[in-house]
Structure 1
Amino acid sequence: MERNRAYSVLELIGWGKYNFIAFLQCGFVIPKQAWAIFDYWYESMAFIVDGVIEEWDLSTLQAGIIGSFIQIGLLFGSVFWAWVGGKYGRMHAFKTCIIIVSVASILLTVSPNFYVLSVALTILGFGIAGELSLPSTVFYEFCPPSKRFYITLMTLFQGFGAILVSLIAYLVSLFNNTGFHNWRIIVSAGAVVGIISMIFRFFMHETPAFLITQNKQMAADDVLNIISLKNTGKILGKIENSSSLNPNEFTQEEEEETPKQTENIAENVTRLFKPPLLKVTIILSLVYTLVSYSYSGYLYFMPEFLGEFSTSTAYMIILIQQSSGIPGVILGTYLVETRCGRKYTTLIFFILTGLLILIFSFTTSFWFILIASSISYMFIYLAYASMFTIGPESFPTSVRSSGSGVTVLLSRIGGISSPIITGYILELPNGVFLSLLSLCITFCVAGVFVLFLKETRGQKTG
Structure 2
Amino acid sequence: MTSKEGDEAKVPEEDVEQLSLEAASIQNGEDILQLEHTDPVLNAKMHLVNDAIDEIGFTTYQWKLFVLNGFGYAVDSLILLIQSIIADRAALEFKPSYPKGMTIAAYSGMLAGALFWGIGADVIGRKLAFNVSLMICSVFAILAGASPNWYVLGLFIALSSFGAGGNLVLDTTVFLEYLPSKDQWLLTLMALWWGIGQLIAGLFAWGFIPKFSCTDPSIDTTAAPCSYSNNKGWRYIWYASGSLVFVMSILRITVIRLNETPKYLLGRGADAEVVETLKGIATRYNRPFSLTLEKLSACGATAAPSGSRFGISGVMVHLRGLLATPRIAISTFLIWVSWALIGLAYPLYNVFLPSYLASRGALFGETSAYITWRNYALSNMCSIFGPILAGYLCSVKFLGRKYTMVLGALATMAFFFAYTQVRNNAQNLGFTCVISFWLNVYYGTLYAYTPEVLPSAHRGTGNGIAVGFNRMMGILSAVIATVADTNTPVPIYICAALYIVMAGIAAVFPFEPYGRRSS
Question: Which consecutive residues of structure 1, in runs of 5 or more, have no partner in the other structure?
Answer: 28-32, 248-255
Match of 1:213 in 2: 267
Q: Per the alignment, do residues 142 and 124 of structure 1 end up closer, same or farther by CA in structure 2, a change over 3 Å counting?
A: same
* Distance in structure 2 (CA, Å) of the matches to 1:172 and 1:181: 8
* Distance in structure 1 (CA, Å) of the matches to 2:90 and 2:47: 50
Q: Per the alignment, do residues 245 and 15 of structure 1 end up closer, same or farther by CA in structure 2, a change over 3 Å counting?
A: farther
Contact 2:108 2:475 survives alignment (8 Å) = yes
Match of 2:441 among 379, 382, 386: 382
* Distance in structure 2 (CA, Å) of the matches to 1:126 and 1:337: 34
* Distance in structure 2 (CA, Å) of the matches to 1:103 and 1:43: 18
Match of 1:42 among 77, 80, 86: 80
Equivalences for residues 217-236 of structure 1 within 5 A: 217-232=271-286
Match of 2:140 in 1: 104
Displacement of 1:283 in angstroms is 0.8
Match of 2:390 in 1: 332
* Distance in structure 1 (CA, Å) of the matches to 2:146 and 2:90: 13
Match of 1:272 among 322, 327, 334: 322
Match of 2:368 in 1: 310
* Distance in structure 2 (CA, Å) of the matches to 1:257 and 1:108: 53
Q: Per the alignment, do residues 425 and 51 of structure 1 end up closer, same or farther by CA in structure 2, a change over 3 Å counting?
A: same
Q: Per the alignment, do residues 364 and 117 of structure 1 end up closer, same or farther by CA in structure 2, a change over 3 Å counting?
A: farther
Q: Per the alignment, do residues 25 and 257 of structure 1 end up closer, same or farther by CA in structure 2, a change over 3 Å counting?
A: farther
Contact 2:416 2:492 survives alignment (8 Å) = yes
Contact 1:51 1:181 survives alignment (8 Å) = no
Contact 1:107 1:120 survives alignment (8 Å) = yes
**Secondary structure, aligned partner of 1:426:** coil
Which structure's CA Rg is the greater one? 2
* Distance in structure 2 (CA, Å) of the matches to 1:286 and 1:110: 38
Contact 1:74 1:412 survives alignment (8 Å) = yes
Displacement of 1:271 in angstroms is 2.9
How much identity, in percent, do the aligned residues show? 22
Write the deviation string for residues 221-248 of structure 1: whole angstroms up to 9, x where unpaired. Answer: 332122113322x6x66xx14144479x
* Letter paired with 1:321: S
Displacement of 1:26 in angstroms is 0.9
Match of 1:301 among 352, 355, 360: 352
Displacement of 1:89 in angstroms is 0.9
* Distance in structure 2 (CA, Å) of the matches to 1:58 and 1:440: 32
Equivalences for residues 55-454 of structure 1 within 5 A: 55-57=93-95, 62-176=98-212, 179-202=230-253, 203-232=257-286, 240-245=290-295, 259-260=302-303, 262=305, 264-273=314-323, 275-276=325-326, 277-307=328-358, 308=362, 309-338=367-396, 339-426=398-485, 431-454=487-510
* Distance in structure 2 (CA, Å) of the matches to 1:351 and 1:415: 22
* Distance in structure 1 (CA, Å) of the matches to 2:301 and 2:181: 21
| More deviation, 170-179/113-122 | 170-179
Displacement of 1:273 in angstroms is 3.9
Greater fraction of residues in helix: 1
* Letter paired with 2:452: E
**Secondary structure, aligned partner of 2:451:** helix
* Distance in structure 1 (CA, Å) of the matches to 2:318 and 2:453: 15
Contact 1:350 1:443 survives alignment (8 Å) = yes
Contact 2:91 2:99 survives alignment (8 Å) = yes
Contact 1:43 1:162 survives alignment (8 Å) = yes
Q: Per the alignment, do residues 257 and 137 of structure 1 end up closer, same or farther by CA in structure 2, a change over 3 Å counting?
A: farther
Question: Which consecutive residues of structure 2, in runs of 5 or more, have no partner in the other structure?
Answer: 1-41, 214-228
* Distance in structure 2 (CA, Å) of the matches to 1:403 and 1:261: 20
Contact 2:415 2:431 survives alignment (8 Å) = yes
Q: Per the alignment, do residues 183 and 245 of structure 1 end up closer, same or farther by CA in structure 2, a change over 3 Å counting?
A: farther
1:23 equivalent in alignment to 2:81 = no
* Letter paired with 1:215: G
**Secondary structure, aligned partner of 2:484:** helix
* Letter paired with 1:313: I
* Distance in structure 2 (CA, Å) of the matches to 1:225 and 1:14: 12
Displacement of 1:257 in angstroms is 12
* Distance in structure 1 (CA, Å) of the matches to 2:515 and 2:355: 43
| More deviation, 437-446/108-117 | 437-446
Displacement of 1:444 in angstroms is 2.5
* Distance in structure 1 (CA, Å) of the matches to 2:483 and 2:111: 22
Write the deviation string for residues 288-310 of structure 1: whole angstroms up to 9, x where unpaired. Answer: 11111111121221111012242
Write the deviation string for residues 120-160 of structure 1: whole angstroms up to 9, x where unpaired. Answer: 12212221121111100000111112211110110011111
Displacement of 1:261 in angstroms is 6.2
Write the deviation string for residues 436-459 of structure 1: whole angstroms up to 9, x where unpaired. Answer: 222222232222222221222123
* Distance in structure 1 (CA, Å) of the matches to 2:83 and 2:105: 11
Q: Per the alignment, do residues 244 and 441 of structure 1 end up closer, same or farther by CA in structure 2, a change over 3 Å counting?
A: farther
Write the deviation string for residues 251-286 of structure 1: whole angstroms up to 9, x where unpaired. Answer: xxxxx9992365732211123245332211211111
**TM-score using structure 2 length:** 0.79
Number of matched pairs: 440
* Distance in structure 1 (CA, Å) of the matches to 2:239 and 2:416: 31
* Distance in structure 1 (CA, Å) of the matches to 2:281 and 2:81: 34
**Secondary structure, aligned partner of 1:79:** helix
**Secondary structure, aligned partner of 1:266:** helix
Q: Per the alignment, do residues 242 and 185 of structure 1 end up closer, same or farther by CA in structure 2, a change over 3 Å counting?
A: same
Contact 1:16 1:230 survives alignment (8 Å) = no
* Letter paired with 2:233: N
Q: Per the alignment, do residues 295 and 200 of structure 1 end up closer, same or farther by CA in structure 2, a change over 3 Å counting?
A: same
| More deviation, 261-270/323-332 | 261-270
Write the deviation string for residues 63-88 of structure 1: whole angstroms up to 9, x where unpaired. Answer: 32320221111222222112211111
Q: Per the alignment, do residues 57 and 353 of structure 1 end up closer, same or farther by CA in structure 2, a change over 3 Å counting?
A: farther
Contact 1:50 1:304 survives alignment (8 Å) = no
Write the deviation string for residues 2-48 of structure 1: whole angstroms up to 9, x where unpaired. Answer: 23322221111111111111111111xxxxx2111212112223312
* Distance in structure 1 (CA, Å) of the matches to 2:54 and 2:435: 37
Q: Per the alignment, do residues 88 and 180 of structure 1 end up closer, same or farther by CA in structure 2, a change over 3 Å counting?
A: same
* Distance in structure 2 (CA, Å) of the matches to 1:383 and 1:446: 9
Q: Per the alignment, do residues 448 and 55 of structure 1 end up closer, same or farther by CA in structure 2, a change over 3 Å counting?
A: farther
**TM-score using structure 1 length:** 0.89
* Distance in structure 2 (CA, Å) of the matches to 1:334 and 1:284: 22
* Letter paired with 2:249: M
* Distance in structure 2 (CA, Å) of the matches to 1:302 and 1:45: 13
* Distance in structure 1 (CA, Å) of the matches to 2:454 and 2:117: 17
